[in-house]
Structure 1
Amino acid sequence: MSAIPSSARAAAALRTSARVSAELLVVAVMAASTLWVLSRMWSVVWPLIIALFLTTLTWPLAAFLRRRGWRPAPAASAVTVLSLLAAAGIVALIAVPVASQSGELADGVTEGIQRLREWAAGPPLNIGDDQISGATDAAMDRLQNSVGSAVSTVATGVSTIFNGLITAVLALFLMFFFLKDGSRFLPWLTRQLPGRLATDIPVVAARSWETLGSFVRSQAFVGLLDAVFIGLGLWIVGVPLVLPLAVLTFVSAFVPIVGALFAGLVAVLIALVSNGPTDALIVLAIIVAVQQLEGNVFQPMIQSRSLGLHAAVVLLAVTLGGSLAGVVGSLLAVPVAALVAVVWNHLRDQLSEPEHRGETCDELPAVPGPS
């Protein structure tokens, strides 16, 4: 007698599992389709993402000017111009000292190459000049035989730079319109949506905007920590161009993995050509130590607190994003994970606490968007 109810329960459990599996499969197909559509529209999506990141950094200043009585268009224009001046100042802060000491750096590079040749000629390598010349000739032959691929690589690089400039200009214009018309986005969105969506989606949009702002500010703080500690280490060792290297470290912190590698390589190279191999190794050790602290301690702790994500989730998100989409995936992994958490938390609240469903858009902060 007890076998029949047990079989019924097993059959019901199987039907439930099948239904849940089918629903998960539908969600996976929809997610894959969405990613495919975004990849086809990437030339528009990427400037939009950059503009949103820039807007989160500059929105507090625009809001401050509005509270002081500025109209939206002049406030957005002033903030955009100040952002351009700040970017130009950062470039000048890096480029001018490097250009002023370019002669010394070139002499240092030549001397460094000569030292490497002398070191290679001695024990334990004992590489003679004829072997070095043979290797140089072989490299030149390979270079001459691959002129076509080199030209193709240069053309690809020029195209990449051109596309980057277009992306930067488009992102700048989008940032201006976001700053100008952002306060009207949620009321506009509410008027476009029917029924429950008119309440739920604006709430999720407002929380997502706050989360994105927290991510950008935490990333800027982590970059500042990197710049301070690495700059202090370079100053103690006596490496030249400390301030440009610190600024480069701060800016490159917004590009995960590749940015840190690039800034560290530049610092080690300058230490090598100016101070010698011993100080270069010391600088390398300082950079590795700071990067390890930043990647395993500072960044997970700061982002987990500001985004409401556990530090392990942050690490896993960066790893997964990097494996799926490289540098761009690493850059977007944490904010995407945080936005998914925002949507999930809202759905959970709606399912468990229906008495809080009366939240209106009047209580939400302004976020950027179309007017």
Structure 2
Amino acid sequence: MAADEPGAGAGATTGSSGTATGSLAATTGNSGPRQAWVALPWLVRTAVLWSACLVVVVAGLYLLGKIAVLLAPLAIALAATIFLTALLDPVLLLLRRLRLPAAPAALLTVLLLLGILVGLGALVWNLTASQFDQLSQELTQGLERSRDFVTSSLPVTDAQLDRLVDQVREGLRGSSPDPVAGARTATEVAGSILLALVLLFFLLKDGRSMWHWVLSRLTGPNQPVVAEAGRAGWHTLGAYSRGTMLIAAIDAIGIGLALVVLRVPLALPLALITFLGGFVPIIGATVAGAVAVLVALAAQGPTTALLTLAAVIAVQQIEGNLLEPLVMKRQVRLHPAVILVAVTAGTLIAGIAGAFVSVPITAVLWRIIDTVQKHRSTPHLDGPSDLMIDARGGPGR
């Protein structure tokens, strides 16, 4: 037994040295990539890390966008519901202060919205239905004047112009929608509108209790930051929706009055197009103004078209430089470059609906991220948070 012990010790020593050698080899093998990474300049390492993070974020946003496109009717209904809820929240609070229960107050708010939309639609139709035949004739005359101007001022013959017009007509016929697809789209639109109205009622009625339920499921240090971020995001969405509606209404009134003074036909529908275009910043106002100028050119000639263009530019400059800084608060406003990128991305992902919702989504996300960063950089005391909302509160309070 005593003779065996040294052998056993030697074997153990040999095993230990083998293990140590293997560990050293593993460490040496792993240190190669690590040393190569450390040997890179810090600028390259920073660029690689930021690029990887950007790829992950863009891939996640792309997947979310694709899912939203696949569920387009549901996504549009949800976006419209949240936007209208933020817009109509002050009306609901006013009715609740009048001692109305939650359900009747929400129902009256939805009925008020429907009454305004139906009333405006009926008013526009009654005032402009008789002008469509006149506009058709004036558009024909305007096209004839434009044709004469092109053939007399540019090196283009009548035959070449007729060939170009025929090609455009053939392209329009080829891209005309299928009746079956059109019926399906109309059914989806009607279903989305109905779903949005039902969801709007329930969000107005139970939205704050839903938000309380979400906060009650959160425990620990995340509860205050979620409460503050939710409230900041809801404030931003409400301020954006009401501010955008006010600015779009001012643009529509200003341009509509200019069209009435210049005696441009269909002034009211053009003003309505301007109002709807105001919900797509920069691009929407530009397209609506271009439509107004083209109608003025076709109906009244180049002089009226130039005057209409001057009126559109004047109204938009007053709105952009004077009204928007007053109506839109600092936490809602975004840089024009950010707005253009957001609108372009939304349009590429979801078309017109994406153009409408891209900017408010960007503004809300930026406000939430900024609030979370400020909350984490500021020390907070433990205990009940003063950011928790009261019984009438919610993200919108």
After TM superposition, the score normalised by the length of structure 2 is 0.73
Quick one: distance in 1 between partners of 2:50 and 2:296? 57
Quick one: distance in 2 between partners of 1:24 and 1:345? 25
Q: Answer whether contact 1:268 1:284 (CA < 8 A) is retained.
A: yes
1:20–1:190 CA distance, 2 compared to 1 (3 A): farther
Match of 1:337 among 363, 368, 380: 363
1:337–1:22 CA distance, 2 compared to 1 (3 A): same
Q: 1:301 is aligned with what amino acid?
A: P
1:262–1:194 CA distance, 2 compared to 1 (3 A): same
Residue 5 of structure 1 corresponds to which residue in structure 2? Answer: none
Is 1:366 the counterpart of 2:390 in the alignment? no
1:27–1:177 CA distance, 2 compared to 1 (3 A): farther
Quick one: distance in 1 between partners of 2:316 and 2:103? 41
Quick one: distance in 2 between partners of 1:201 and 1:320? 28
Residue 175 of structure 2 corresponds to which residue in structure 1? Answer: 150
Q: Answer whether contact 2:230 2:368 (CA < 8 A) is retained.
A: no
After TM superposition, the score normalised by the length of structure 1 is 0.78
Residue 264 of structure 2 corresponds to which residue in structure 1? Answer: 239
Kindly report which structure 2 residues correspond to 1:269-308, keeping only aligned pairs within 5 A, or say none: 269-295=294-320, 297-298=321-322, 301-302=325-326, 305-308=328-331
Q: Answer whether contact 2:229 2:368 (CA < 8 A) is retained.
A: yes
Quick one: distance in 1 between partners of 2:365 and 2:168? 49
Q: Answer whether contact 1:185 1:367 (CA < 8 A) is retained.
A: no
Q: Answer whether contact 2:208 2:395 (CA < 8 A) is retained.
A: yes
Quick one: distance in 2 between partners of 1:273 and 1:98? 17
Q: Answer whether contact 2:215 2:227 (CA < 8 A) is retained.
A: yes
Residue 32 of structure 1 corresponds to which residue in structure 2? Answer: 59
Residue 248 of structure 2 corresponds to which residue in structure 1? Answer: 223
Q: 2:375 is aligned with what amino acid?
A: D
Residue 95 of structure 2 corresponds to which residue in structure 1? Answer: 65
Larger radius of gyration: 2
Q: 2:394 is aligned with what amino acid?
A: A
1:356–1:20 CA distance, 2 compared to 1 (3 A): farther
Quick one: distance in 1 between partners of 2:44 and 2:104? 58
Q: CA deviation at 1:142?
A: 7.0
Kindly report which structure 2 residues correspond to 1:1-371, keeping only aligned pairs within 5 A, or say none: 22=49, 25-26=52-53, 29-30=56-57, 32-42=59-69, 43=72, 44-120=74-150, 123-125=152-154, 131-132=157-158, 135-136=161-162, 139-140=165-166, 143=169, 149-151=174-176, 160-257=185-282, 259-295=284-320, 297-298=321-322, 301-302=325-326, 305-308=328-331, 313-326=334-347, 328-329=354-355, 331-355=357-381, 358-363=385-390, 365-367=393-395
Q: Answer whether contact 2:293 2:305 (CA < 8 A) is retained.
A: yes
Cα displacement string for residues 206-258 of structure 1 (whole angstroms, at most 9, x for unaligned residues)? 22111110111111122122123212322332334434433332232113355
Quick one: distance in 2 between partners of 1:152 and 1:100? 28
Q: CA deviation at 1:307?
A: 4.5
1:329–1:32 CA distance, 2 compared to 1 (3 A): farther
1:330–1:110 CA distance, 2 compared to 1 (3 A): closer
Gapped regions of structure 2 (runs ≥ 5): 1-37
1:56–1:291 CA distance, 2 compared to 1 (3 A): same
Give the match's secondary structure for 1:101: helix
Q: CA deviation at 1:103?
A: 2.4
Q: CA deviation at 1:180?
A: 1.0
Q: How many residues align?
A: 349
1:41–1:276 CA distance, 2 compared to 1 (3 A): closer
Gapped regions of structure 1 (runs ≥ 5): 1-10
Moved more, 49-58 or 18-27: 18-27
Quick one: distance in 2 between partners of 1:187 and 1:51? 19
Give the match's secondary structure for 1:362: coil
Q: Answer whether contact 2:342 2:362 (CA < 8 A) is retained.
A: no
RMSD, matched Cα:
3.7
Q: CA deviation at 1:179?
A: 0.6
Identical pairs, percent: 27
Moved more, 341-350 or 155-164: 155-164
Cα displacement string for residues 239-278 of structure 1 (whole angstroms, at most 9, x for unaligned residues)? 3443443333223211335532443244224423443321
